[in-house]
Amino acid sequence: MAAKTAVELFLLLSIFIPPSLSCPKECMCDNRSKVVDCRGRGLYDIPRRLHPDTLELYLQDNRIRGLGSMALRETPLLRVLDLSNNSITTVSASALLGLRALQRFSLANNTLKELDRRLLGPIRSLTHLDLSYNSLGGLPGAMGESLRNVSWLGLAHNRLQRMDRSLLEGLGRLDGLSLRGNPWRCDCHLIGLKLWLETFLFRGGLVDEVLCSQPDEMKNKELHAVPYQLFHTCMTTSYNYLFANIHHLEAERSLRGHAHLSPGMHSPLGGAEGHGGGGGLPECEPKQRPRPVNLRYAIATVVITGVVCGIVFLMMVAAAVYGCAYAAIMAKYQRELKKNKEAEAEAQAGQGTKAATTDDKEPLENAIA
């Protein structure tokens, strides 16, 4: 009887507390911190039957080749996911679906060539993203909305030649950016990145380096050191774009002497370090011979001159109004003064006539007497 009771109790426990959910056999789990460590286990796929309370999942140094749809549906509370040093070539657009609390995500050291713009769509809590050491030709501009809370972004050692302007504008809370080791093409399409970087550095952000690979005359030259005169052709054909970013040009003037680069940035997840357009700028080569006139300062001078002229114009208007008011008051005063004088003159004339009449009457009266 006792043996039968024990068997029934075991069956009940196996139903309500499945032992397979405690920890995958390929991994090490810490039930207290809810961390699952599956590093270097030769895995070809993400382990099944992970505990739904898992907060951190480490899968570095395995042989995983791809992430399918809802690959992590069993761990909706996941905050840290590290998939660096694998062989991942494809990631489904819905691979991270349900991970609304994800904060740190690393796909460094894989063989990714592109990412779907919808990959990070539902995630708004992401703060650290490491995509370095892949073969990415760019990031979709639409992904910028998902990166608005990211404070560190790793894109080093990919195949980036330019950056989508809409993606850059979405990085409102970025503090650190790793861009080294990319074949940057310093032509018209990169002026947007140059302008954005100058403002980013002015705000105190950190960037490792952006070295030009093309054209040949600018090879291995820092983008921030490339003078704006070399982009003159681009500016001529996109004048509105230039004036829309004039605050970037002014920020660059304040960056003289500022520490532009910080060489040794590393991924906060422990790893090694999309094909976007450039805001519609035309394809062209930078002008090789710099112009003698510095276009940046010329534009700044025009703006300052316009402000000064506006102030002078306002002062002239104020002076004209004051002068008109003063003239009107003085005219009124003169009229009143003239009127008073005429009244006094008439009063004096009346008194003189009266006195003359009195003098005429007195001799006449004496004669009669």
Chain center to CA of 235? 22
Helix intervals (H) in the chain: 2-16, 165-169, 191-202, 232-237, 239-244, 246-254, 295-368
Rounded to an integer, the average pLDDT of 8-27 is 56
Chain center to CA of 49? 40
Element housing 91 (H / E)? strand 90-91
Say whether pLDDT at 316 is over 70.
yes
Rounded to an integer, the average pLDDT of 144-171 is 90
- Pick the residue with more confidence: 169 or 363? 169
**Least trusted range by pLDDT, from 13-27, 78-92, 113-127, 214-228:** 13-27
Rounded to an integer, the average pLDDT of 62-77 is 93
Domain residue ranges in the chain: 297-325
Rounded to an integer, the average pLDDT of 60-77 is 93
Rounded to an integer, the average pLDDT of 361-367 is 50
Select from 26, 57, 32, 18 the least CA-distant residue to 44: 26
Say whether pLDDT at 6 is over 60.
no
pTM above 0.85, yes or no: no
Percent of the chain with pLDDT over 90: 35
- The one-letter amino acid code at 133 reads Y
pLDDT at 206: 93
Select from 88, 85, 83, 77 the least CA-distant residue to 34: 77
DSSP secondary structure, 97-110, as one string: TT-TT--EEE--SS
- Nearest 5°: the CA angle 320, 326, 330 is 145
- Pick the residue with more confidence: 237 or 300? 300
pLDDT at 323: 83
pLDDT at 289: 47
Cα separation of 172 and 295, whole Å? 28
Supply the DSSP symbol for 34. Answer: T
Say whether pLDDT at 223 is over 80.
yes
pLDDT at 268: 52
Chain center to CA of 336? 67
Where does the pLDDT of residue 224 fall: very low under 50, low under 70, confident under 90, or very high at 90 and above? confident
Mean pLDDT of the chain: 77
pLDDT at 353: 59
pLDDT at 9: 44
Element housing 310 (H / E)? helix 295-368
pLDDT at 18: 45
Supply the DSSP symbol for 25. Answer: T
pLDDT at 333: 81
Select from 235, 223, 288, 232 the least CA-distant residue to 261: 223
Say whether pLDDT at 49 is over 60.
yes
Tell me if the bond preceding 215 is cis, omega within 30° of 0: yes
